[in-house]
């Protein structure tokens, strides 16, 4: 082992730790890695920057845009309505139809928007079937993951691995080549979920269930501090306006300006307006507090914010929301959205304390209260996805369904028939979509998950460094030599294939699937070269295993989404996901050597 190889392995270990630690965003870590590789001399600047010429991230970004156009025109909404009519069917039949439909759509567009569109439909279906949503949401996510393994454009990991293959002068995948493995495994997974889902999936309650019946009937109102009030100079606790009395002070407005101090730290002055969320007992107590009167009971000519019962809704923060990375207080949430955050569900935990300072993350589920008008206004934006009401698109594009579907079909057919490279076809499709105003240019840029693209670029640089320093070859040689001592020569290929698959699938469960694909593909090629075999079967194993993430809610973005919505625990994914991982592994070991011989 040379010093260069040792340094590469140290950097790799550091990056993996940062991914697990989550102190820094993965894309920032990956780009920082690229700079470190240049600074240490492991890669020259031209070589490191050459990863930006890889067509895979460009294709991934283009598919984000095409997927957004398909959602915008309402095509997926029309298909999702078909599921609503299955409420009277047996559970197994509902799961089978839902998974097959979601998998079919996810085979051709990015699976994240598919899950986002189907979520409200599946929640409504659960209510009709009188089932807990947790009985349906994991199968929804798994169906999207399985469908993505069936085609070249079904998931970004397939595109990344294909880009690595072609950059090394090796033949890439055709559009439907991966269907030889993806379709059989998808059918097997669908049958497994249909038969075992009802028994293995738990009954979990959604976020609103943590509130008592009394807490669910809170009112948004405001009070006015009179000039002669005995509470002047007192804190809210001193004035008796506390949670113990059924009152939650949301904001204090003084001279027309909302105070940025925490409400409990403010000493009241004459003319202060106190915005509150009160139970009935809280409203009664406020009325009895001398010198503090409800605005609705005064004739002061003040602009009233709200004085009626608030509606409670649950919504998930979308990846592109303006809230991501900011706290409720930093975003001035109540003034901006006219809504109040009551609780947050994140990674299996319900959070109700210190909500004002908690940084919001994409995928968080917020329990909010506000007026019906405020909720309708919020549903028209792109910051949240509501669970208990249909999406309200700002400008329906239903008249352009045929055009969008035709463009996507042309991109797929052009790549399948090898008339045009997939990256050029996808980019051309994006241009047509924007020129025909099926999607605004700003919306197209906003639909691209740039953090994923930069993560891919950083990890491609890591893979290139492992190749140029000999780290990938060193790993491959030692892995093959280690197996050689225990396995006969005739079985060496299938054993190394299994090792590549298992290592990839374990890493995928705890890291980003895109990062794992970019990292493992060069190692898989090195193993094939060391064995003197065709790299294709090993690459297929890496591509499939990097997508087939079922055992944890953090390995794949769609799993993370349903994790919060369904109120799942981490162990719920292990219970149903580990057997599915095992089924996928067995199927892959049987199919890959027969379709792609060593």
pLDDT tens digits, 104-121 = 999 998 888 888 788 878
DSSP 116-129: HHHHHHHHHHHHHT
DSSP 164-228: HHHHTT-----TTTTHHHHHHHHHHHHHHHHHHHHHHS-----GGGGS-TTTTS-EEEEEEE-TT
What does the alpha-carbon distance between residue 201 and residue 569 come to, in Å, rounded to a whole number?
11
Asked if the model's pLDDT at residue 283 lies above 60, the reply is: no
- Which of 210-219, 243-252, 291-300, 361-370 has the least mean pLDDT? 291-300
Higher pLDDT, 282 or 450: 450
| DSSP state for residue 331 in the 8-state scheme | T
Residue 206, pLDDT score: 62
Asked whether the beta carbons of 315 and 561 are under 8 A apart, the reply is no
Confidence of residue 298 (pLDDT cuts 50, 70, 90): very low
What does the alpha-carbon distance between residue 360 and residue 366 come to, in Å, rounded to a whole number?
9
Confidence of residue 320 (pLDDT cuts 50, 70, 90): low
Residue 585, pLDDT score: 96
pLDDT tens digits, 130-174 = 888 889 999 999 999 999 999 998 888 999 999 889 888 888 899
Residue 492, pLDDT score: 84
Residue 263, pLDDT score: 60
What pTM was estimated for this model as a whole? 0.78
- Which of 12-16, 131-135, 137-141, 215-219 has the least mean pLDDT? 215-219
Asked whether the beta carbons of 559 and 573 are under 8 A apart, the reply is yes
What domains lie within the chain, and their CATH numbers? Answer: 3-205+409-595 (no CATH), 219-308 (3.30.70.1450), 311-386 (3.30.70.1450)
DSSP 54-70: -HHHHHHHHHHHHHHHH
Question: Of all residues in the chain, what percent carry a pLDDT higher than 70?
Answer: 84
What does the alpha-carbon distance between residue 456 and residue 473 come to, in Å, rounded to a whole number?
22
Confidence of residue 406 (pLDDT cuts 50, 70, 90): very high
Confidence of residue 353 (pLDDT cuts 50, 70, 90): low
The three-state secondary structure class of 273 is strand
pLDDT tens digits, 184-203 = 999 999 999 999 988 999 88
């Amino acid at each position: 082992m040379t010093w260069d190889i040792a340094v590469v392995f140290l950097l790799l270990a550091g990056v993996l730790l940062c991914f697990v630690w989550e102190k820094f965003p993965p894309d920032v870590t990956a780009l920082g890695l690229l700079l470190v590789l240049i600074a240490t001399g492991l890669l020259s600047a031209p070589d490191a920057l050459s990863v930006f010429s890889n067509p895979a991230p460009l294709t991934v970004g283009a598919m984000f845009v095409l997927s957004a156009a398909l959602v915008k025109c309402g095509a997926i909404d029309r298909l999702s309505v078909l599921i609503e009519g299955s409420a009277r069917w047996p559970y197994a039949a509902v799961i089978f139809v839902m998974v097959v439909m979601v998998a079919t759509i996810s085979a051709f567009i990015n699976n994240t928007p598919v899950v986002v569109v189907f979520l409200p439909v599946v929640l409504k279906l659960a209510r009709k079937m009188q089932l807990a949503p947790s009985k349906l949401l994991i199968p929804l996510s798994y169906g999207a993951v399985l469908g993505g393994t069936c085609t070249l454009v079904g998931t970004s990991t397939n595109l990344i691995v294909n880009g690595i293959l072609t950059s090394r002068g090796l033949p890439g995948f055709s559009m439907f080549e991966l269907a030889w493995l993806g379709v059989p495994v998808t059918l097997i997974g669908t049958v497994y979920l249909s038969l075992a889902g009802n028994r293995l999936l738990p009954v979990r309650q959604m976020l609103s269930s943590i509130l008592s019946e009394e807490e669910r009937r809170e009112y948004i109102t405001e009070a006015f501090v009179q000039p002669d009030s005995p509470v002047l100079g007192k804190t809210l606790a001193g004035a008796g306006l506390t949670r113990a009395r059924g009152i939650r002070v949301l904001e204090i407005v003084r001279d027309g300006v909302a105070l940025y101090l925490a409400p409990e730290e403010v000493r009241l002055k004459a003319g202060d307006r106190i915005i509150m969320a009160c139970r009935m007992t809280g409203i009664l107590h406020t009325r009895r507090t001398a010198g503090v009167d409800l605005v609705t009971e005064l004739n002061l000519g003040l602009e009233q914010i709200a004085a009626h019962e608030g509606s409670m809704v649950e919504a998930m923060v979308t990846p592109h929301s303006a809230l991501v990375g900011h706290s409720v207080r930093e975003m001035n949430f109540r003034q901006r959205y006219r809504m109040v955050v009551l609780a947050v569900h994140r990674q299996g935990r319900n959070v109700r304390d210190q909500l004002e300072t908690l940084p919001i993350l994409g995928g968080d589920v917020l329990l909010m209260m506000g007026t019906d008008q405020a909720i309708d206004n919020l549903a028209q934006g792109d910051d949240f996805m509501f669970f208990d009401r249909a999406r309200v698109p700002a400008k329906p594009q239903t008249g352009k369904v045929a055009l969008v579907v035709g463009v996507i079909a042309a991109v797929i057919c052009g790549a399948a028939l090898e008339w045009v490279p997939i990256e050029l076809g996808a980019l051309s499709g994006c241009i047509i979509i924007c020129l025909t105003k099926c999607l605004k240019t700003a919306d197209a840029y906003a639909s691209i998950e740039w953090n994923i693209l930069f993560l891919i670029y950083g990890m491609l640089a890591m893979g290139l460094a492992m190749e140029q320093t000999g780290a990938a070859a060193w790993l491959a040689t030692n892995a093959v030599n280690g197996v050689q001592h225990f396995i006969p020569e005739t079985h060496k290929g299938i054993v190394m294939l299994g090792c590549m698959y298992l290592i990839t699938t374990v890493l995928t469960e705890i890291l980003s699937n895109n990062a794992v694909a970019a990292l493992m593909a060069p190692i898989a090629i090195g193993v094939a070269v060391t064995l003197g075999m065709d790299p294709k079967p090993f690459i297929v194993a890496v591509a499939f295993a990097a997508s087939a993430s079922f055992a944890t809610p953090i390995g794949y973005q769609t799993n993370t989404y349903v994790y919060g919505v369904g109120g799942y625990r981490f162990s719920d994914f292990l219970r149903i996901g580990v057997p599915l991982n095992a089924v996928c592994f067995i199927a892959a070991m049987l199919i890959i050597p027969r379709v792609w011989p060593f």
